[in-house]
């Protein structure tokens, strides 16, 4: 009996060792795959001796008169996003970029600390999404930090406020919000989100005037056409981009909408760790959106690194996480991640109360 027990233990240890090698191998390969787009981005700026990040648009917008903000088809964010951008526009360009990226990095690090260990955060900053967003000055670190805060807090009031703040900055990143709140029966959070969002909208109208909003609504379709004309639609990280890369109609992304809805509903309707909730929220939003670029996955990339560091997760989930981190196979990784999270949620009991604290993420 003792020999059988020792043999079983050795077999278990061997299997665990093999899984660890597979998991860490996926993480290393994913991080190495990131080197190509990072090299291309940095190399292009060195070659052309020009800053090519999106922050030049954000900073430049703050210098324009309000009636010219949406005239160049390069700024698609709603006027409420100007409330975040305006303070940074008061600085010269390079100090402004440094302050912007530092603030975004601090925001995502503080929010992510509630979900994952420090090692995952550190490695997240070494990915294409992490480096690219910091150098490019994208807005996604702030949005990701707000959503992480929303899914990790046990206070429904703060959840609603955080989601509303993210929604008025980048609405398409919050497509899963209504489903997740309704699935979790978090009516108080939904109410706070509506009140807070309405407050932000009212302030923006008072500060900027209603004409800016009318111009935004009128120019938004032109922005999408501008992206298509430059081939940016093929860089989409969802089903839309996958379809366009094969020359198929972008409307095929609609087939991913039901999966996104089901994933959000199942994960938020059941007792699920905050890490999984953020992953489901982000993946569902991509599946329901016709426009998501890789830098929008900054928050999800951090979470996927944490999943790859978690020995207790399944090999298929590790594979999905590695595909997303790699950036090369992010489209397929999003779909696989959503399917796995949905299947895992089916095996958990329904959440008893919307006010219960979320289960802590595995370290």
Give 273's strand partners.
359
pLDDT score of 284 more than 90: yes
Q: What's the 3-state SS for 323-353?
A: HHHHCCCHHHHHHHHHHHHHHHHHCCCECCC
pLDDT score of 4 more than 80: no
Instruction: Tell me the three state secondary structure of residue 270.
Output: strand
CB 297 within 8 A of CB 143: no
- Per-residue tokens: 273: 């760790």
Ramachandran quadrant class, 351 (left: phi over 0; alpha: psi -120 to 50; beta: rest):
beta
> Higher-confidence residue: 287 or 245?
287
Q: Please tell me the predicted confidence (pLDDT) of residue 10.
A: 44
- Residue of 309, 263, 264, 335 whose CA lies nearest to 115: 309
pLDDT score of 1 more than 80: no
Mean pLDDT, to the nearest integer, of 13-24?
Answer: 82
Q: What's the 3-state SS for 192-247?
A: HHHHHHHHHHHHHHHHHCHHHHHHHHHHHHHHHHHHHHCCHHHHCCCHHHHHHHCC
pLDDT score of 240 more than 60: yes
Domain ranges in the chain are 10-346
Instruction: Tell me the three state secondary structure of residue 273.
Output: strand
pLDDT score of 198 more than 60: yes
Give 270's strand partners.
350
Q: Tell me the residue length of the chain.
A: 363
């Amino acid at each position: 009996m003792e020999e059988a027990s020792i043999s079983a233990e050795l077999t278990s240890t061997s299997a665990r060792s093999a899984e660890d090698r597979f998991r860490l191998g996926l993480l290393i390969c994913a991080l190495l795959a990131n080197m190509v787009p990072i090299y291309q981005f940095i190399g292009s700026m060195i070659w052309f001796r020009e800053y090519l990040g999106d922050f030049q648009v954000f900073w430049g917008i703050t210098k324009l008169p309000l009636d010219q903000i949406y005239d160049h088809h390069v700024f698609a964010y709603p006027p409420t996003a100007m409330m975040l951008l305006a303070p940074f526009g008061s600085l010269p360009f390079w100090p402004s970029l440094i302050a912007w990226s530092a603030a975004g990095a601090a925001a995502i690090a503080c929010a992510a600390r509630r979900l994952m260990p420090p090692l995952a955060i550190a490695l997240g900053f070494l990915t294409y999404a992490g480096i690219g967003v910091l150098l490019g000055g994208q807005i996604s670190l702030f949005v990701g930090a707000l959503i992480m805060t929303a899914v990790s807090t046990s206070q429904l009031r703060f959840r609603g406020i955080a989601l509303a703040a993210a929604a008025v900055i980048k609405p398409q990143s919050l497509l899963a919000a209504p489903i997740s709140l309704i699935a979790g029966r978090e009516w108080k959070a939904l109410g706070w989100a509506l009140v807070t969002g309405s407050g932000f909208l009212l302030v923006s109208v008072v500060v900027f005037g209603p004409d800016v909003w009318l111009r935004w609504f009128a120019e938004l379709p032109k922005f999408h056409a501008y992206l298509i004309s430059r081939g940016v639609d093929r860089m989409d990280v969802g089903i839309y981009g996958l379809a366009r890369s094969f020359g198929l109609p972008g409307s095929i992304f609609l087939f991913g909408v039901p999966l996104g809805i089901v994933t959000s509903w199942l994960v938020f309707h059941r007792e699920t760790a905050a890490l999984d909730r953020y992953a489901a929220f982000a993946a569902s939003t991509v599946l329901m959106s016709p426009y998501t670029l890789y830098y929008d996955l900054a928050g999800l990339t951090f979470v996927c690194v944490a999943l790859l560091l978690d020995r207790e997760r399944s090999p298929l989930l590790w594979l999905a996480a590695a595909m997303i981190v790699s950036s090369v196979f992010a489209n397929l990784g999003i779909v696989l991640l959503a399917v796995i999270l949905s299947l895992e949620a089916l095996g958990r009991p329904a959440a008893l109360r919307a006010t219960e604290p979320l289960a802590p993420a595995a370290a």
